[in-house]
Structure 1
Amino acid sequence: MITIIFYILAAITLGTGILTVLSKNPIHSAVYMVICFFSISGHFLLLNALFLAVVNIVVYAGAIMVLILFTLMLMNLSEQNEPKKKVISRIAATASACLMGIVLLAALIKSTPIIEGYQAEGLDYQSVNVIGQVLLDEYLVPFEFAAILLITAMIGAVLISKKETKA
């Protein structure tokens, strides 16, 4: 039963990922990305990583996609303003994407797992208490830097989107 659910979630993830890239309408692309995030959260649930599933839904499917949709609507993208791409740039993009796929496939084929067995230590690493303790003890400075970076990006987005008034 879990295998069937995995394959259904994998098909949804791959399908919506491809639709995200191939969609002409940026709003439709954002909606496909939200569906992709939900299916990835389903994968986390299958792995019994409940905290990661909830964080993925709240952070990515919630906050990030709201920001992306807000930015898309703020920029007012339309096809009239978009310049046509040259054929050589399309060929170069396709060739580089194919080469990247070949490199990723070769790395996947050649990879071997480093850890062959796990030893139980009696600690629950999925507990929110343990994750919070590690975040605020060992990783406090990077956590704060990430917060400052996000606030700076938000202020920059507001300043860029602000309309200039002609005096």
Structure 2
Amino acid sequence: MSLDSIFYILGGLTIGTALMVVLSKHPVRSVLYLVLTFFLISANYVLMNAQFIAIVNIIVYAGAIMVLFLFVLMLLNLNKENEPKHSPMMTIGAAVAGGSLFLVVVAAMRDAILATPMIDANSEKVGLVENLGQILFTKYVLPFEVSSVLFLAAMVGAVLLAKKEKQTID
């Protein structure tokens, strides 16, 4: 099997599972289809030799974000009695808005110019974590350290906000 055929198969599966996210009636199944979509997107990243982005996608999106989605879905009481009723005009309005967005995207893509890659895509070292770390800790060390200090300040702020103040009785 060639890489092109694997790419098209993975792309078709990704589009299919993304459609199932939207078309699924059961919210938990929809979230599980979304997890599968993220895994398939990560597989496409691996095909493009972007292993770091694939791993981050699996850890952050398929792991952490989807766990939060599942917790929210389990905490909500989703049943048919609580579901809001909507008129057919809302469905028609949604179809018109979606069709308009589709036409705008098609018109924009028609006039788009495909850019050529600036680096050699066939190079074996493109997208490897080793090269990313080398550039991150040499050329971009100052922005990396500043962002780590900002993350640390955000974590301390979140802990302080979450901490309950002790009330003293005088």
TM-score, scaled to structure 2? 0.75
Q: Residue 118 of structure 2 aligns with which residue?
A: 118
Q: Residue 27 of structure 2 aligns with which residue?
A: 26
Within a 5 Å distance, the mapping from 1:82-93 to structure 2 comes to 82-93=83-94
Structure with greater Cα Rg: 2
Instruction: Check the 8 A contact 1:13/1:36 in 2, yes or no.
Output: yes
Distance change (3 Å), C-alpha of 1:143 and 1:51: farther
Distance change (3 Å), C-alpha of 1:46 and 1:143: farther
- CA distance in 2 between partners of 1:31 and 1:83 (Å): 24
Instruction: Check the 8 A contact 1:135/1:143 in 2, yes or no.
Output: no
* Identity fraction in percent: 38
TM-score, scaled to structure 1? 0.76
Match for 2:133 among 129, 137, 153? 129
Q: Residue 104 of structure 1 aligns with which residue?
A: 105
Q: Residue 150 of structure 2 aligns with which residue?
A: 144
Q: Residue 43 of structure 1 aligns with which residue?
A: 44
- CA distance in 2 between partners of 1:7 and 1:14 (Å): 10
Query: Does 2:3 correspond to 1:2?
Result: yes
Instruction: Check the 8 A contact 2:49/2:126 in 1, yes or no.
Output: no
For structure 1, which runs of at least 5 residues remain unmatched after alignment? 157-167
Q: CA deviation at 1:143?
A: 8.5
For structure 2, which runs of at least 5 residues remain unmatched after alignment? 163-170
Which whole-Å deviations, capped at 9, do the CAs of 1:28-49 have from their partners, x for residues lacking one? Answer: 0000001100110011001000
Q: Secondary structure at the match of 1:54?
A: helix
Q: Secondary structure at the match of 2:86?
A: coil
